[in-house]
Amino acid sequence: MGKLMDGPPGPGKPAQAEGKHSWRWGEDIVIVLAVLTLWPAILGWSGMFYQLLQIAALAVLVGILVRRIGRFRAEKKRMRPN
């Protein structure tokens, strides 16, 4: 849906905008999967595998957070008139 609303790349839009949208969708899917890794702990399942899965999910979420903060900062810098 975002691709239709954004329109084709133009003077103010980079040609690589479509690739960025797919990365954002991928990040969103990974976030949902990371939330699902919490369920074994909620259900009381124990095991080293579940703990390692949660640690890996946390590491991936931190990576996504760093990427998104970088994108927000870049967009903020781009929007400043200076």
Residue 73 lies in a domain: yes
Q: Distance between CA 10 and CA 19 in Å, rounded?
A: 15
| 31-70 as b/e: b if 16+ CB within 10 A | eeebeebeebeeeeeeeeebeebeeebeebbeebeeeeee
- Average pLDDT value for residue range 34-63: 94
Q: Into how many domains does the chain fold?
A: 1
pTM for the full predicted model: 0.66
Residue 59 lies in a domain: yes
Residue % of the chain over a pLDDT of 70: 73
Q: Which run of H or E residues covers position 61?
A: helix 48-79
Residue 3, CA distances (Å) to 7, 20, 23, 64, 66 in order: 6, 11, 13, 22, 24
Identify the pLDDT of residue 57.
95
Kindly report, residue by residue over 2-38, the tens digit of the pLDDT: 444 455 554 555 545 556 677 888 899 999 999 999 9
Residue 18 lies in a domain: no
Residue 14 lies in a domain: no
